[in-house]
Structure 1
Amino acid sequence: MQPTTLAASWIDVGNGLGTDMKALIFNVGIPVLCGLFVLVIGFRTRAPGPTLMAVIFAGVVWGLSANMATLKDTTGDTVKEYNNGGGHAVIQGDQ
């Protein structure tokens, strides 16, 4: 009998579907949803303030999703540095 994973993470599901599906989500899905978010906020509020904040928020989400590889590398470097003691001399008395 083969073991079966009953609860796979969404990242594993995305990897199982292939890189084309992930590229489609990150290059088409997220930008379309960000644009839709801005349009809905703009038409629902009909005010420049909330619409401008929606544009800024959508830009941040879109930008972070476009730079996932950079964020992954930066986070990995931070974890490695933390695991190695931070690379700094510990001064006696620091806690």
Structure 2
Amino acid sequence: MHNTITVAADWISLGTGFGNDLKGLIFNIGIPVLCGTFVLVVGFKTKAPGPTIMAVIFAGIVWGLSASMGTTLKDTTTNTVNHYDGSTVRTGDQ
């Protein structure tokens, strides 16, 4: 009588779920909060409009790039896979 238990599947699904939740927290809450904190700190420390405006622009760039990272990486990966799919065979010195 053998009872087999697959423990790895539960750990893998737990890790995947935790990773997806953590990624969502970082991209949806963490980065926007840090960008806002950055703008507030620069504004209160400098008390000048120039650096504060530059901080807003920089925070907007960081937030925008992090928001579009998933699409950009997906497109880049798709292009790479299509480029190296093996449809064209090149011969030469190996």
TM (normalized to structure 2)? 0.63
Larger Rg: 2
List, as ranges, runs of 4+ consecutive aligned residues in structure 1 with deviation greater than 6 Å.
Answer: none
Aligned length: 71
User: For the structure 1 residues 49 and 69, does the alpha-carbon distance in structure 2 shift closer, same or farther, using more than 3 Å as the test?
Assistant: same
Q: Distance in 1 between matches of 2:83 and 2:49?
A: 44
Distance, in Å, in 1 between the alignment partners of 2:68 and 2:27 is 10
SS in 2 for 1:71: helix
Question: RMSD value over aligned CA atoms?
Answer: 2.2
Identity of aligned residues (%): 62
Shift of residue 18 of structure 1?
2.1
- Structure 1 residues 38 and 80: CA distance shift in structure 2, 3 A: same
Asked if residue 34 in structure 1 is aligned to residue 35 in structure 2, the reply is yes
Note if 1:60 corresponds to 2:61: yes
Partner of 1:23: 24
Distance 1:15 1:80 in 2: 24
Distance 1:78 1:43 in 2: 45
Runs of 5+ in structure 2 lacking a partner?
1-14, 86-94
What 5-or-longer segments of structure 1 have no aligned partner? 1-13, 85-95
